[in-house]
Chain A
Amino acid sequence: MKKQQMYIRMITASLMRRRSRMLVALLSIAIGATILSGLVTIYYDVPRQMGAQFRNYGANLILTGTDGAFSESDMQQSLSVIPAGDLVGAAPFRYENIRIHEHPVVAAGTDMNGAKATSPFWRVEGEWCSADGQIMVGKNVAESFRLKTGEMLTLSFTPENADKDTADSTLDLEITGILDTGGKEEDYVYLSLHDLETLAGAGGLDVCEVSVSAQSEQLKAYTNEIGKRTAAVSAHLVKRVTASETTVLSKLQALVLLVTIVVLALTMICVATTMTAVVTERRKEIGLRKAIGASDRSIIGEFLGESMMLGGIGGILGSVLGFVFAQQVSLRVFSSDIRFQWLLVPLTILVSVGVTGLSSLLPIRSATEVDPALVLKGE
């Protein structure tokens, strides 16, 4: 039999035949590994989770024309820079001054699906426009003109430079919803780009609000790339959103990191205490091993082997339970599933083995100080 085989046989026997004793040590390691693995999973998934949350607060990228309005094809060319997976939505806007009952009002032509995606916080009393011939009016506009959903509304438009004899163009639209945002949108009316074109004639886009699921640095990269690719369009970050997203994210990650370090320290203390108890309990065995010829190196190797094997088993348990833990936290805090990070499995096992080995070093070192003559003394 090779020495290594006997070594494995000994440490396996120690763990398997002393199950009740080792279970306590294993439990402390597994709990530590579970919390560590769970927190690291959350740490890495937080940007994705928070990104999704922040997308509810509106667009984080704005496209404007470098020289006035820009065309839809310019917009599409700009958006092609952003991978489909990162693009949450894009809402083009064309603004025109129109009149309702001879009072000036700003009309915004947009793609309703895009607006829904970039502005999920908009509250619509009634329905979103789903086809041409429909309009949503801002809450203030509705109050000023006493408008209600289901009513028909006539919009009038006077082209620029039109002479006195030119008749205003008009368009009758059905009010499907009253828009309540708490912001300037309540002073506008929203209709499809096609309807606005029918009313006001052909025209370019004034702005395009884009919602992208990406970190600040990546957003900056997209911005630069858009500038390079489409001369007619310049992209800007909505600093209010991106800056607060970055701040919240970094603070949250720092918090998770801090908790992870605290848990790591507590696990180490717990393992060190357990291993100290194990060494104290096995002083006679250590004395016997030394008496029959075990060197200090052998004693260290055997105890370290035991603790590292415990660490490995604890790490395997921890990586599975850690995912369950992270999943529960994610479901309760972010109301969404978490992604299983395969890389975390070997990482958790390695960290668990390392931490267990490291925290066992001092207690194991004390094992080599056992004097066989003292502990084996007969009665």
Chain B
Amino acid sequence: MSLLELNHIYKIYGDLHALDDVSLKVEKGEWVSIMGPSGSGKSTMMNIIGCMDKPSRGEVLLDGVDIAKESAKNLTAIRRDKIGLIFQQFHLVNYLTAVENVMLAQYYHSLPDEKEALEALDRVGLADRANHLPSQLSGGEQQRVCVARALINYPEIILADEPTGNLDEANEEIVVDLFHKLHDEGTTLIVVTHDPEVAEVAQRTLVLRSGKLHKEIVNENFTGKIHFEDRQEVQVNA
């Protein structure tokens, strides 16, 4: 059984088909990128997989449970227990320190454990910045705090929406390296991006266009490392 399975998903707003009969499968431990231009349905798909929205039609099986049929309350619980979210805008609570932001996810999940939160920050190379407020951290550091927060509860899936969208190349590399480590440890990663360099790093890239799954590219030479010098255009066939 796949960890995540989308079967004939539709998301319709009036006359607009944000997602139009999309089906896909993600296996446990897989690293998948979802790519596409603006308006292609990436965010809608991200919201549905992240249990923040429901499809108009279709079936979304996460660990065998159809989350499309779950109540808002249950979706919150699923999000809390199974999904680690990373956002383009970082979205940290600005009056909590780095370690408190990580502990926030523990607080909603089970019990806050400062030691464990500090270890998570250490994993992303921010042990010495644990007691800094987000305003005292650089963009790259803030995103690494988000990664620490996303992985603290050992989620089934880490779902990252444009995780490198606001980062320079150096920080982009650090974040992708972190994803590589997480993948090595067996974490399932779904990265929504419009950046081909970030998308190419994954084992598999799904290309969306106008709400439809346009193409699937399997990375035969998967290394999990980003190489700016080897940058190549992803060919998308119409």
A3 B165 Cβ-Cβ under 8 A: no
Q: Is B16 in the interface zone, CB < 8 Å from A?
A: no
Cα of A144 to Cα of B55 in the assembled complex, Å: 109
A85 within 8 A of B: no
Report the bound CA distance from A5 to B108 in whole Å. Answer: 13
Which B-chain residue is minimally distant from A1 (CB atoms)? B112
**0/1 per residue, B199-216, Cβ < 8 Å to A?**
000000000000000000
Give a binary string over B138-152; 1 marks a CB under 8 Å from any A CB, 0 the rest: 000000000001000
Chain B residues in 8 Å Cβ range of A7: 107
Distance of A296 Cα from B103 Cα, bound (Å): 19
Given contacts A293-B80, A295-B76, contact A378 B88 (CB under 8 A): yes
What is the interface size of chain B, counting residues whose CB is below 8 A from a CB of the partner?
Answer: 37
**A294 at the A/B interface (Cβ < 8 Å)?**
yes
Closest Cβ of chain B to A305, distance in Å, is: 13
Determine if B176 is an interface residue (Cβ-Cβ < 8 Å): no
B89 within 8 A of A: yes
Out of B47, B76, B94, B113, name the residue touching A293 (CB < 8 Å).
B76
Q: Report whether over half of chain A's contact residues are helix, strand or loop; otherwise say mixed.
A: helix
**A13, B96: Cβ atoms closer than 8 Å:** yes
Which A residues touch B109, using CB under 8 A? 293
Contacts of A240 in B (CB 8 A): none
Q: Scoring B residues 88 to 101 as 1 if CB is less than 8 Å from chain A, else 0, what string do you get?
A: 11011111100010
Hey, what's the 0/1 contact readout for A283-295 against B, CB within 8 Å counting as 1?
A: 0110111111111
Q: Which of A292-318 contact B (CB under 8 A)?
A: 292-296, 298
**Are the CB atoms of B53 and A289 closer together than 8 Å?**
no
Does residue B59 face the partner (Cβ distance < 8 Å to A)? Answer: no
Q: Within 8 Å of chain B (Cβ to Cβ): is A372?
A: yes
Q: Mark B36-74 against chain A: 1 for CB-CB distance below 8 A, else 0.
A: 000000010001001011000000000000000000010
User: Which listed residue (A6, A13, A294) contacts B76, Cβ 8 A?
Assistant: A294
Nearest B residue to A375, CB-CB: B91
* Count of chain A to chain B residue pairs whose CB atoms are closer than 8 Å in the complex: 84
B114 near A: Cβ within 8 Å?
yes
A152 vs B108: C-alpha distance when bound (angstroms): 97
Q: Are A1 and B93 in contact, CB atoms less than 8 angstroms apart?
A: no
**Does B111 belong to the interface (CB within 8 Å)?**
yes
Q: A290-B76, A292-B105, A378-B165 are in contact. Are A10 and B113 (CB under 8 A)?
A: no
Contact yes or no, B95 A17, CB < 8 A:
yes
Interface residues of A, CB < 8 Å — how many? 32
A10 and B91 in contact (CB under 8 A), knowing A3-B111, A293-B76, A295-B73?
no
Inter-chain contacts of B113 with A (CB < 8 A): 1
Alpha-carbon distance A333/B108, docked complex (angstroms): 56
User: Do residues B50 and A293 form an inter-chain contact, with CB atoms below 8 A?
Assistant: no
Nearest CB of B to A63, in Å: 71
Q: Are A294 and B95 in contact (CB under 8 A)?
A: no
CA separation between A3 and B80, bound complex, in Å? 16
From the candidates B43, B96, B111, name the one contacting A378 in the complex (CB within 8 A). Answer: B43
Q: How far apart sit A371 and B75, CA to CA, in the bound complex (Å)?
A: 13
A123-148 residues at the B interface, CB under 8 angstroms: none
A164 touches B (CB below 8 Å): no
- Tell me the minimal C-beta distance from B141 to chain A in angstroms: 18
B23 CB, nearest partner CB in chain A, Å: 22
B161 on the interface (CB 8 Å rule)? yes
Which of B87, B88, B108, B161 contacts A289, CB < 8 Å?
Answer: B108
Contact B108 A376 (CB under 8 A): no
**B162 pairs with A292, CB closer than 8 A:** no
Docked complex Cα distance between A6 and B104 (Å): 8
Partner among A285, A289, A376 whose Cβ is within 8 Å of the Cβ of B89: A376
* Chain A residues whose CB sits within 8 angstroms of the CB of B47 once the complex forms: 373
Q: Would you list 11 pairs from A and B whose C-beta atoms are within 8 A, ordered by A residue?
A: A6-B103, A6-B107, A10-B104, A13-B100, A284-B91, A285-B94, A289-B93, A293-B108, A298-B108, A371-B52, A378-B89
Beyond A6-B112, A289-B108, A295-B108, 14 extra complex contacts between A and B, CB < 8 Å: A1-B111, A1-B114, A3-B107, A14-B95, A284-B91, A287-B91, A289-B93, A290-B76, A291-B91, A295-B76, A298-B108, A372-B52, A373-B47, A376-B91
